[in-house]
Amino acid sequence: MPVLVLHAHPNTPPSRVNAALAAAARSVPGVTVHDLYETYPHFFVDARREQALVEAHEAVVFQHPIYWYSAPPLLKQWWDTVLEEGWAYGGNASATVGRTWTHALSTGGSEHSYSGRVDPADDPAGRANFFALDDYVKPWRQSARLCGMRWHPPFTVHEAGRLDDAQLADACARYRAFLVALGAFATPLPPPGA
């Protein structure tokens, strides 16, 4: 089942982990990797082009680092521009219905820091994130719901800044397996007009 990876990394500072993940994704049959910062360095997102890409795939993976508990700004621009009323939601909009929405995330914080179970008393330096990662992704999960899309739990690489080469290679292997499984998860959609 065709999977579209929308890769969003501003490269300031330069990416190590997401660059490797994107390269790994490119090696998976049936996966299209679309580099948003390379395509739209000036943030003028082409809604028609992006909508056509989404329509040609059954699953969309937003691949990005977590920046300020959210996504890099071009992804917000992509959502604001591409998910138009009448196309993605509202009225008889049906373009996105039944497609899968998920994320591939890298975080600076550890898995434990995103567990939502760190007692602030045990974290005097304030390095833990208080909420669980599942809480931070809720606006995206609801956006998928509004668009009639199926939510799939994200692929996650924690402590991205600390990975040695072997750990990064392992993350890439896990990502390839995730994309293959996602392709199987995504429901085949009927052909247009059927």
Q: Which residues are near ligand FMN by CB under 6 A?
A: 9, 15-18, 65-69, 106-109, 160-161
Is the Cβ of residue 42 or residue 162 nearer to ligand FMN in the bound state? 162
Is the Cβ of residue 12 or residue 92 nearer to ligand FMN in the bound state? 12
Is the Cβ of residue 65 or residue 183 nearer to ligand FMN in the bound state? 65
Query: What is the C-alpha end-to-end distance of the chain, expressed in Å?
Result: 18
Are 128 and 117 a contacting pair, CB within 8 Å? no
Are 113 and 162 a contacting pair, CB within 8 Å? no
Minimum CB separation of residue 95 from ligand FMN in Å reads: 30
CB contact burial 89-106 (16+ within 10 A = b; e otherwise): beeebebbeebbbbbbbb
Is the Cβ of residue 17 or residue 59 nearer to ligand FMN in the bound state? 17
Minimum CB separation of residue 158 from ligand FMN in Å reads: 8
User: Which among 4, 19, 16, 18 is positioned nearest to 50, based on CA atoms?
Assistant: 4
Minimum CB separation of residue 143 from ligand FMN in Å reads: 19
